[in-house]
A and B are shown apart, each in its own frame.
Chain A
Amino acid sequence: DSGVTQTPKHLITATGQRVTLRCSPRSGDLSVYWYQQSLDQGLQFLIQYYNGEERAKGNILERFSAQQFPDLHSELNLSSLELGDSALYFCASSAGTGSLYEQYFGPGTRLTVT
């Protein structure tokens, strides 16, 4: 158990809909990262927040957005969903920001868009 929790575990929704994925980092961790894992694209970094502020952006679509709240939990919002958005979405957290800080991964949320 990494200490990172993600809800829900599974999500099935229809094209065009909007969903919110939630992540609670390990106690004391200030950084939260979101990754997408799909069969065709592999594991891709989406976005990072550090202590409530956006820190880095990767291959995140404009239809996707995220935020980190004062209690440090984070939410990833996916809108106008397409079939290709079906993937496993991971959240990771680390104590600080920088490559020396180990990222701890949650169990993921499996999103299926039908």
Chain B
Amino acid sequence: AQSVTQLGSHVSVSEGALVLLRCNYSSSVPPYLFWYVQYPNQGLQLLLKYTSAATLVKGINGFEAEFKKSETSFHLTKPSAHMSDAAEYFCAVSYAGTALIFGKGTTLSVSS
């Protein structure tokens, strides 16, 4: 069965530091990949998506992710963390259908 693994349920960084949130998928066929962010008491918002065009995908709020087929990874990065980035981040995959399969989520904490 297709699945998504997010390494690290909790990541803590200092303001201004690099943010790296890890996501690996299991698949023998190319998937569509997504990163969503969830702020407290809110729904999910799409940060970026990979749909087999460019392997480096730029999203909103300065985030980007790189699709690496050889590593089956789609890690999310941001060069410099901001306090407002503190939230829960979900990696999701979709395979030619419509349902999103989500990872367990990573909570990002940013300290000043």
Which residues on A are within 8 Å of B, measured CB to CB? 2, 4, 31, 33, 35, 42-45, 48, 55-56, 58, 90, 92, 94, 97-108
B94-110 residues with Cβ-Cβ distance < 8 A to A are 94-105
Chain B: which residue is nearest A9 at the CB level?
B41
How many residues of B are in contact with the other chain, CB < 8 A? Answer: 24
A102 to B46, CA, bound (A): 8
Are B99 and A4 in contact, CB atoms less than 8 angstroms apart?
no
B residues near A92, Cβ cutoff 8 Å = 44
Closest partner residue, chain B, to A106 (CB atom): B43
Select which of A4, A33, A42, A106 is within 8 A of B98 by beta carbon: A33
B residues less than 8 Å from A33 (CB atoms) = 98-100
Q: A55 to B98, alpha carbons, bound, how many Å? A: 9
Identify which of B98, B101, B104 contacts A48 (C-beta below 8 A): B98
Residue of B nearest to A50 (CB): B98
Taking a contact as CB atoms under 8 Å apart, the answer to whether A43 and B46 are in contact is: no
Of the A-B pairs whose beta carbons lie under 8 Å apart in the complex, a sample of 7, sorted by A's number, is A42-B102, A43-B90, A94-B98, A99-B94, A99-B97, A103-B46, A105-B45
A56 adjacent to B99 (CB under 8 Å): yes
Contact A4 B43 (CB under 8 A): yes
